[in-house]
Chain A
Amino acid sequence: MSALTPTRTPAPGTPSDSDAADAAAPRRRAVRRSPLRSERRGVRIAAWSTVVVFGGFALAPVYWLLATALTPRDQVFAYPPRLFPATPTLNAFAALASNEQLFVYLRNSLLVSVLTAVLSVLVSAYMGYSFSKFRYRGRRSLMYFVLASQMFPQALLLVTLYSLFSAYGLLNTYTALVLSFTTFTLPLCVWMLKGFFDTIPDELIEAARVDGASRLRIIHSIVLPLSAPGLIAAGLFAFVRGWNDFIFALTLAGPEKQTLPPGLVNTFVGEASTAWPELMAASLVVSLPVAIAFIALQKYLVGGLTAGAVKG
């Protein structure tokens, strides 16, 4: 049917994924006779031009990242650079694998991001539930304070956090990193989880109370299990934000406890001749968990984005 309808893309077999479009089917005949046909072609050309130009801007650097990672080290400083590596190699990845310090950073990154995610989800679940299902004075102000708190400048918080952790002997510990990461993961998780809890019908909770379940029991055996996808989504977003952090780990930890982002900067940047293939290979490796998390999170992307899940 789509082959006959110039209103939409003319490709036969293009899946139609919109109910609205199908519902409008009877109107199509009128549309087909409309004098705007040439204009529609113009729109299609404009759409494709946009995609080609900006798509190029989006993807050319990605290609260059891949190509450089596969270029032998002695060829990377050839000028002009070759757009296609003449003898692609995985040497850069092998070099990474033999660098023990990178594994320290990797382990730190995994540990700190997972701990941050767990702590944030745990604490945020109670807070989000309180915001979602109870009504009290100051609730809205508190909610918006939480929302605003992720917009306070990190560089500024860091000034005091550094002195604070230093006073308690927590500099260069996982504790310092996890606690500082919660400054941005907690607000995000609270708002996301509040949104999830809002979708749980009050009747369900009331019914459980009528049955004699305590309020805490309701949270633990009804609300949280029902919100499992939400908890996982919030946790994954928190993991990603922790994984991507740069400024806190750069400042609050040294090489033994530092995560990958500042670790990679310290390893590769500022040397007399940067090992570009290795840096690009490391960039791919550090991006991988984020990419996997996002594929898992597709469904929650837009909702999570408005809650500040990932800074644009």
Chain B
Amino acid sequence: MSASQLETVRNTSSHSPPRRLTDGQFALLLLLPGGALLLGVVLYPLVAALVAAFFEQSLVVPGRTFVGLQNIVDVLTGDFPRLLGQTLVFTVGTTIFPFVIGFALALALNTRIRGAKVLRGLMLIPWLVPGVVVSFLWMWIFNANYGVLNALLETLGLVDGAVPWLAQPGTAMTAVIVAKTWQSFPWMMVMLLAGLQTVPRELHEAAEMDGAGTVRRFFSITLPQVKGIVGLVLLLELIWNFQHFDIIYVLTGGGPAGSTQTFATAVYETAFHGFDLGHAGALGLLWMVLLMGLVVVYIRFSEKGEAK
């Protein structure tokens, strides 16, 4: 809309109330309530939490002492390498597995097998339930003594006796990844299916007439066409999983022996069980740096998408 045009209209219209604000000022005014809220509950808290990295500061005792980089050095020489490794295992695992399952299902449903719509609806159920419910359910399935998984595996002769999936360091991370995968794959499926449905059928039919087989068509037609949405879902999943908290916290609380601790649970523990804001902030600072790398890639990606 053209401002000069409106200016003319405004001056000639007798009904027009006097306007003192320019469009730009009005637009800024509209931003105020939301902006103030974001400033108060997002930006300030984030900055303050990160600034705490340079202080010795407690959650419960007022006052703080500047300690420079001491907290960061502590963290880097302490838990950081292990947490980074575990966070990466969790993040990559809970991105790759849901992606593979989601993509396979999207491709299957996209062949328009009978009842595809009903199946799609049913497969969404895991993702409709709140995160804590996912945790409760898998806690019960993985239960060492009465869990249905041990019962099934024992019937098949695969395990011998009660395997404490969530209570031994060797299996806990895998179990947590399975639970998170179960929750995440439907989202991947819906997004990828939506992407697949935008691929023009004519392209496939033409290629088929030229003698291109299914595999060939998948790599030369389908994949290039859904490349954008694949990138988008992978990036978003990586960002979310990199900071996922709920399922890990409820299923294992980061245990046993810290084997499922990630940045999210470690920052929480340090701040709210150890009351140590300095080290929580230091960990958070390193965490944010890594996370922001992903977020920047995501924003570049969305901008590219919007420009198209």
Contacts and interface: CB of A to CB of B under 8 A. Distances in A.
Interface of A: 7-9, 11, 14, 18, 20-21, 23-24, 27, 30-31, 34-36, 39-40, 42-44, 46-48, 50-51, 54-55, 57-59, 61-62, 64-65, 68, 76-81, 122-124, 126-127, 129-130, 133-134, 136, 139-140, 142, 144, 146-149, 151-164, 179-180, 182-183, 186-187, 190, 202, 205-206, 209-212, 214-215, 243-244, 246-247, 251, 261-262, 264-265, 268-269, 274, 276, 279-280, 283, 286-287, 290-291, 294, 301-302, 305-306, 308, 310-312
A196 B95 CA distance: 30
A130 B30 contact: yes
Contact of B42 (A31, A122, A149, A247): A149
Interface in B131-163: 131-133, 136-141, 145-148, 151, 154-155
B268 A265 contact: no
A153 B108 contact: no
B126 A290 contact: no
Contact of A159 (B40, B49, B250, B288): B49
B224 to A, nearest CB: 18
Interface of B: 1, 6, 9, 13, 15-17, 19, 21, 23-24, 26-28, 30-31, 33-35, 37-38, 40-46, 48-50, 52, 59, 98, 101, 104-105, 107-109, 111-114, 119, 122-133, 136-141, 145-148, 151, 154-155, 182-188, 190-191, 194, 197, 200-202, 205, 208-209, 211, 213-214, 232-233, 236-237, 239-240, 243-246, 249-250, 263-265, 267-268, 271-272, 277, 280-281, 284, 287-288, 291, 295, 298-299, 302-303
Most buried by A among B140, B214, B302: B140
Contacts, number: 335
A164 B35 CA distance: 18
B268 A47 contact: no
B140 A147 contact: no
A157 to B, nearest CB: 5
* Majority secondary structure of chain A interface residues (helix, strand, loop or mixed): helix
Contact of B108 (A50, A59, A65, A211): A50
Given A186-B34, A247-B268, A312-B236, A159 B45 contact: yes
B188 A312 contact: yes
Given A134-B24, A262-B132, 9 more contacts: A9-B114, A23-B202, A35-B211, A50-B104, A64-B148, A155-B264, A265-B250, A312-B236, A312-B240
* Majority secondary structure of chain B interface residues (helix, strand, loop or mixed): helix
B294 to A, nearest CB: 8
A131 to B, nearest CB: 8
Contacts of A7: 205
B6 to A, nearest CB: 6
Contact of A312 (B129, B130, B148, B187): B187
Given A136-B28, A214-B17, A244-B131, A149 B38 contact: yes
Contact of B245 (A124, A139, A247): A247
Contact of B34 (A9, A61, A126): A126
Contacts of B122: 55, 58-59
A212 to B, nearest CB: 4
A312 B234 CA distance: 11
A162 B119 CA distance: 43
B119 A287 contact: no
A156 B263 CA distance: 10
B140 A68 contact: yes
Contact of A280 (B28, B108, B136, B151): B136
Contacts of B272: 158, 162, 251
